[in-house]
A and B are shown apart, each in its own frame.
Chain A
Amino acid sequence: MNPAFSVVLFTTLAGAAQGLVVALALAALCGIQAAPAFAGRVLAIAGVMLVMGLLSSFGHLGRKERAWRAVQMWRSSWLSRECIVLPVFIAWVALWWFMLPLVGTQIVIPLIALLLAALLWLCTAKIYACLRFIQEWAQPLTLVNFVLIGMASGALLASALAATSNEPALLSVTGPAALVLTLAAWATRALSLRHNAALKHRSTLQSATGIHSTTLVQKSMGMSAGAFNTREFFHGRTLAALGQVKLAFQLLGFALPAAIAAVALASDSSVLAWWLAVAVQAPGLLAERWFFFAQAKHPQNLYYQVVS
């Protein structure tokens, strides 16, 4: 597939925002107290990230003015379900922010925020995992990775914010959690890379054409200068470039942030270290999501191999 930057940015940004809200919700549910002003700041940041993600997702639409129509087919379409859950989640985060001074430490709002974040991860991951013939995506690890990567980046961001605002109680939990989650996300992402490396694609040129000759090559795709089919489904990068992105996202997205988090946990004056980890991880996770799309081989590509 040819990764669309709007979707890469949206899923990465929204995933981190969900992770941030989950970190705050879990802390609230476990009775870890954070100053209301700090919680308000965290929720505001998450809300802004989610709105930015939503706006970015509009960039993928050809007819943005009709975007509201996307909520209609929730009975059958995971995309439609996502289009419902995302605004509800944003509204709930806003409600939580608004209610902070009023309700204090009650647990219903954080609990529902947690459930909505989980539901949004499910919808986002299923959009890709439900396409059975894109075998790189149609695996349970797609959901696991969306959840763990979102939680890891959210916990890291929560730690950086907690360190900045001097919230030691919260940081003492989110700090180690960020390290563990980053390593766990790396492990499951590596598993999916291994799964994809060993993948045997079910569709072949033979099954695509029904011509059962062992030697079968395309001589013409039927047009000379490309079409939607060649623009949307081919990323046009070399295998070497893909390999570099794979290395880069594992390094920037997981290895370095984990190492920096470990240093930050070991040292006292760690504000700078936490923010450095966030700054390193952000491009790493964007690269991870880009690679997620680029690595998916769509079976339609079998029909578009040779110009003439």
Chain B
Amino acid sequence: MIGWLKDVLGRHAVAAAPAVSARAEPGETLAKQLALVIDLNVCVGCHACVTSCKEWNTSGSAGALADQNPYGANPTGTFFNRVQTFEAGVFPGTETIHFPKSCLHCEDPPCVPVCPTGASYKRKEDGIVLVDYDKCIGCKYCAWACPYGARELDEERQVMTKCTLCVDRIYDEHLPKDDRQPACVKACPTGARLFGDVKDPSSEVSKAIRERGGYALMPEWETQPANQYLPRRITKAVE
């Protein structure tokens, strides 16, 4: 009950409490925004990012990601990342495009302000959009408010889950420096997933977006996704 009062009264009342992570206000411009840049030109659709994501995130302190009928005819479960496949053009001139999709950590995330409990939030220090699993009531409204379908309700824990950019990994000083990256990035055999701060103009991701024509998904809704995609390039055979 005391905790509830503190929550209702807001941050003013708990200023003395140890700082968790500061929440970005709607419309706030952040100095740092971590994100993934996905290179559609080299993704081969192997799903290594999907399985490594599942492995890391089902083993963490937040609890296992539910699987239902894992060995049955219709296995289904919670995943933070999917690889989809699209075909563009008309045969025989078709192109197959493998398309990894996870939370885009929007700079103006529509899922955050709709959350009635404040469980969904965007971190001020690095722009990661997270769910506080201890506050989520499983109302699913944030999933309705995400045009990308990036959120999945965990059927066993009955809370909303989503990509955390491996927040429990990228800052872990017990890990060697090379391992402080999202599991999907480490797992990608072709280097199709780049990770970094898109607000830092000299970062690898910013350079890739600038030089390779990086683009955002569904720009029509002005959510300003932090994750961007690098388009396919048609390379001519050397004569």
Measured CB to CB, the residues of A under 8 A from B are: 1, 60-64, 66-73, 76-80, 83, 127, 130-134, 202-203, 205, 207-211, 213, 215-229, 232-233, 298-301, 303-304
- A66 contacts B116, C-beta separation under 8 Å: no
Asked, given contacts A72-B116, A78-B114, A219-B96, whether A298 binds B139 with beta carbons under 8 Å apart, the answer is no
- Smallest CB-CB A-B distances: 9 pairs: A62-B138, A300-B149, A62-B158, A213-B88, A222-B82, A80-B116, A76-B113, A225-B74, A69-B117
Which A residues touch B75, using CB under 8 A? Answer: 224-225
- A72 contacts B76, C-beta separation under 8 Å: no
Q: Which of B69, B79, B96, B221 contacts A133 (CB 8 A)?
A: B221
> Complex Cα distance A120/B127, Å?
34
Judge if B8 is at the interface, Cβ distance under 8 Å. yes
Which B residues touch A63, using CB under 8 A? Answer: 136-138, 158-159
Q: Which of A62, A64, A226, A304 contacts B149 (CB 8 A)?
A: A304
Q: For residue B88, give the distance in angstroms from its CB to the closest CB of chain A.
A: 4
> Complex Cα distance A296/B152, Å?
19
Judge if B129 is at the interface, Cβ distance under 8 Å. no
Known: A207-B219, A227-B79. 12 other contacts (CB 8 A): A69-B137, A72-B7, A77-B116, A132-B221, A133-B147, A210-B229, A211-B97, A222-B85, A225-B69, A225-B74, A228-B78, A232-B153
The interface on chain B, measured as residues whose beta carbon lies within 8 A of the other chain's beta carbons, has a size of: 69
- B113 contacts A216, C-beta separation under 8 Å: no
Closest to B138 in A: A62
Asked, given contacts A83-B116, A219-B86, whether A68 binds B149 with beta carbons under 8 Å apart, the answer is no
Q: Which of B135, B140, B146, B155 contacts A60 (CB 8 A)?
A: B140
Judge if B171 is at the interface, Cβ distance under 8 Å. no
Which B residues touch A1, using CB under 8 A? Answer: 144
Asked, given contacts A209-B217, A221-B82, whether A127 binds B141 with beta carbons under 8 Å apart, the answer is yes
> Complex Cα distance A203/B88, Å?
17
Closest to A133 in B: B147
Q: For residue B234, give the distance in angstroms from its CB to the closest CB of chain A.
A: 12
- A62 contacts B221, C-beta separation under 8 Å: no
- A77 contacts B115, C-beta separation under 8 Å: yes
- B149 contacts A202, C-beta separation under 8 Å: no
- B137 contacts A61, C-beta separation under 8 Å: yes
A-B contact pairs, 28 of them (CB 8 A): A1-B144, A61-B138, A62-B136, A63-B137, A63-B159, A66-B117, A66-B136, A69-B119, A69-B135, A70-B139, A73-B118, A80-B117, A133-B147, A203-B218, A207-B217, A208-B217, A210-B216, A213-B95, A216-B86, A217-B87, A219-B86, A222-B82, A222-B101, A225-B76, A228-B153, A232-B153, A300-B147, A303-B84
Judge if B90 is at the interface, Cβ distance under 8 Å. yes
Which B residues touch A207, using CB under 8 A? Answer: 217-220
Judge if B34 is at the interface, Cβ distance under 8 Å. no
Judge if B191 is at the interface, Cβ distance under 8 Å. no
Which A residues touch B153, using CB under 8 A? Answer: 62, 228, 232
- A61 contacts B90, C-beta separation under 8 Å: no
- B87 contacts A216, C-beta separation under 8 Å: yes
Judge if B196 is at the interface, Cβ distance under 8 Å. no
Judge if B99 is at the interface, Cβ distance under 8 Å. yes
Closest to A228 in B: B152
> Complex Cα distance A286/B115, Å?
26
> Complex Cα distance A72/B6, Å?
10
Which B residues touch A60, using CB under 8 A? Answer: 139-140
Which B residues touch A62, using CB under 8 A? Answer: 136-140, 153, 157-159
Q: For residue A225, give the distance in angstroms from its CB to the closest CB of chain B.
A: 4
Closest to A67 in B: B137
Judge if B209 is at the interface, Cβ distance under 8 Å. no
Asked, given contacts A62-B158, A66-B137, A216-B87, whether A73 binds B82 with beta carbons under 8 Å apart, the answer is no
Which A residues touch B137, using CB under 8 A? Answer: 61-64, 66-67, 69-70
Closest to B68 in A: A225
- A222 contacts B50, C-beta separation under 8 Å: yes
- B215 contacts A210, C-beta separation under 8 Å: yes
> Complex Cα distance A216/B84, Å?
13
> Complex Cα distance A209/B86, Å?
9
Closest to B100 in A: A222
Q: Which of A73, A209, A227 contacts B99 (CB 8 A)?
A: A209
Which A residues touch B158, using CB under 8 A? Answer: 62-63
- B118 contacts A79, C-beta separation under 8 Å: no
Q: For residue A235, give the distance in angstroms from its CB to the closest CB of chain B.
A: 14
- A228 contacts B143, C-beta separation under 8 Å: yes
Asked, given contacts A60-B139, A207-B220, A226-B76, whether A72 binds B97 with beta carbons under 8 Å apart, the answer is no
- B87 contacts A219, C-beta separation under 8 Å: yes
> Complex Cα distance A226/B68, Å?
11
Judge if B48 is at the interface, Cβ distance under 8 Å. no
Judge if B89 is at the interface, Cβ distance under 8 Å. yes
Q: Which of A76, A216, A218 contacts B114 (CB 8 A)?
A: A76
Q: Which residues of chain B from 129 to 186 have any CB-CB distance to chain A below 8 Å in the complex?
A: 135-141, 143-149, 151-153, 155, 157-159
